[in-house]
Amino acid sequence: MNYDFGKFNNWGALKKVAVRDAATAFQSDAKIDAEWKDLNYHSRPDLFKAKKQYEAFEAILKSAGAEVIKLPAADGLTLDAIYTHDALVVTPKGLVMPRMGKVQRRKEAEVNGHALAKLGFPNGGLIGGEGKLEGGDLVWIDEHTLLAGIGYRTNLEGVRQLQALMGPKVKIEAFDMPHYKGRSDVFHLMSCLSPLDKDLAVVYPPLMAARQIEFLEQRGITFVEVPEEEFDTMGCNVLALGPRHAVMVDGNPETKRRMEAAGVKVEVYDGSEISRKGEGGPTCMTRPLVRG
């Protein structure tokens, strides 16, 4: 089955995006109470505030022209199911269901993949065995080049399997990720790299491999650097709604100023409940399916 996924990049106009809103992912106070500590949330999310914040975030996606596809609730999903980016990988061959590095989240790929298959999205295969792969560790530079971060959530075997599924028309360039806060922390390639356009990206260089920085520079990509004081507040977790049009978590004024100085239109939302407590910003909460 052929399906037009549009452009394979991380900055084109967002046409279709899969999400699981806060009401569906968090469900109830009882579910939040049972799960937030085990999932390493910084503190307990407030359900009422989370729902309101997500409604505002979703409105930004729709105002940018994106068709928002709602993913369902299902048995075996946790609060983390709100972060839909990690649980599927969009490839020219279809949607690949990864084997996620965070064990509590492994049900998500199957649920999300099957829900989208019912809507006509093709199945591109799955990652199995000892392979580990999460969407937050993958960044499209162009339709033939996919960057991968190798760390605690994604390993070389997962990347090898993904390369085999996609075939020779796409080359995966893999870069080692630092230990940083350790195995229990959510740290992806996109924690320190968020493309804004074909030649512009938000980055946090202290946690990037030197070889990765040089690779991006050789591709003609210039950087908006996130200051140290705004890294932990998710200044680098920025979702491109289109070329030089992005949305970010409120509370990172210097990063926002630097983006605007580079010609980027910046939208902000309050992510105190839906983003900061679970360390999942706008890129994490969205699974872009079609970009222009």
Report yes or no on 5 lying in a domain.
no
In a domain? residue 8: no
217 is in which domain, residue-wise?
Answer: 14-291
- Token readout for 119 is 């809507």
Give the pairing of strands 94-97 and 123-126: parallel
Is residue 2, in this structure, part of any structural domain at all?
A: no
How many domains does the chain contain in total?
1
Supply the CATH number for residue 110's domain: 3.75.10.10
Q: Check: CB of residue 283 under 8 Å from CB of residue 6.
A: no
Is residue 37 in a domain? Answer: yes
pLDDT per residue, tens digit, the chain (292 aa), is 467 898 999 999 999 999 999 999 999 999 999 999 999 999 999 999 999 999 999 999 999 999 999 999 999 999 999 999 999 999 999 999 999 988 899 999 999 999 999 999 999 999 999 999 999 999 999 999 999 999 998 999 999 999 999 999 999 999 999 887 766 666 889 999 999 999 999 999 999 999 999 999 999 999 999 999 999 999 999 999 999 999 999 999 999 999 999 999 999 999 999 999 999 999 999 999 999 9
Kindly report the backbone phi and psi dihedral angles of residue 65, in degrees, each rounded to the nearest multiple of 5, phi listed first. Answer: 100, 10
What is the Cα–Cα distance from 14 to 12, expressed in whole angstroms? 6
Q: Residue-wise over 258-268: b if at least 16 C-beta within 10 A, else e? A: bbeeeebebbb
pLDDT score of 187:
82
Strands 239-242 and 94-97: unpaired
Residue 3 belongs to some domain of the structure: no
pLDDT given at position 39: 93
* 67 close to 15: Cβ distance less than 8 angstroms: yes
- Our separate counts of H helices and E strands in the chain read 7, 15
Q: What is the pLDDT of residue 182?
A: 67
Token pair recorded at residue 141:
């530079």
Is 161 part of a structural domain of the chain? yes
Instruction: State the pLDDT at residue 281.
Output: 95
> How far is 271 from 280, CA to CA, in rounded Å?
9
The pLDDT value given to residue 184: 64
The span from the CA of 61 to the CA of 226, in Å, is: 23
Q: Please tell me the pTM assigned to this model.
A: 0.94
